């Protein structure tokens, strides 16, 4: 009798382990793919997305005194995430000048670029839920791990002046 009771107990324990493993396996896809329509891309891929992207980069000529002012305010722990749509006219208008500004800065500011797909329907609020990106392009500036400012869709004044305001206020 003891033998059968111990076997039943082992069987119950094995079933609990199997149930736990199955639960973890079934939740893993939900945890690992939070925004499946978001893909990290490079600045080279952005400029190669179409002729208007490279033309926007080539055409933009930032003022050198503003580049110098921005460089002096960057600091060591500034980083930027850029969410854009390769299909989006506002992204095509604003991201190439941003790339030119970064290249002229010559500073090593870590920047990550994320391409987003069009929203699947009007009911979808965010392109990226995690950071609440509802319009593209969205430039998110961080000092360390703390968000210090955003430029959403189009700058308020100009890309350089908005960047200066964000970076200057983050010091």
pLDDT digits (tens, 9 = 90+) for 95-144: 999 999 999 998 779 999 999 998 877 888 888 889 999 999 999 999 99
pLDDT at 112: 97
Together in a domain, 54 and 26: no
Q: The CATH number of the domain where 150 resides is what?
A: 3.40.30.10
| 25 and 49 belong to one structural domain | no
> Are residue 113 and residue 153 in the same domain, yes or no?
yes
Structural domain boundaries enclosing 6: 1-33
- State the total domains in the chain: 2
Report the distance separating Cα 90 and Cα 96, nearest Å.
10
Task: Mark whether 75 and 154 lie in a shared domain.
Answer: yes
Q: What is the mean pLDDT of the chain?
A: 84
**Residues 75 and 135 occupy one common structural domain:** yes
Same domain, 25 and 51: no
> Which pTM was predicted?
0.77
Statement: residue 18 has pLDDT above 80: no
Contact present, 95 and 88 (Cβ < 8 Å): no
Q: Does residue 80 sit in the same domain as residue 158?
A: yes
């Amino acid at each position: 009798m003891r033998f059968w009771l111990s076997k039943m107990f082992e069987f119950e324990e094995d079933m609990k382990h199997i149930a736990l493993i199955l639960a973890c396996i079934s939740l893993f896809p939900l945890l690992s793919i939070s925004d499946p329509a978001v893909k990290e891309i490079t600045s080279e891929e952005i400029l190669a997305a179409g002729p208007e992207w490279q033309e926007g980069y080539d055409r933009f000529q930032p003022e050198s005194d503003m580049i110098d002012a921005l460089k002096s305010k960057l600091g060591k722990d500034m980083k930027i995430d850029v969410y854009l749509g390769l299909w989006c006219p506002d992204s095509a208008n604003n991201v190439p000048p941003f790339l030119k500004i970064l290249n002229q800065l010559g500073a090593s500011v870590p920047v990550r670029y994320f391409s987003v797909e069009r929203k699947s329907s009007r009911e979808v609020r965010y392109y990226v839920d995690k950071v609440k990106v509802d319009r593209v392009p969205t430039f998110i500036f961080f000092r360390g791990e703390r968000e210090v400012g955003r430029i959403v869709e189009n700058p308020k004044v100009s890309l350089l002046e908005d960047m200066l305001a964000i970076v200057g206020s983050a010091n």
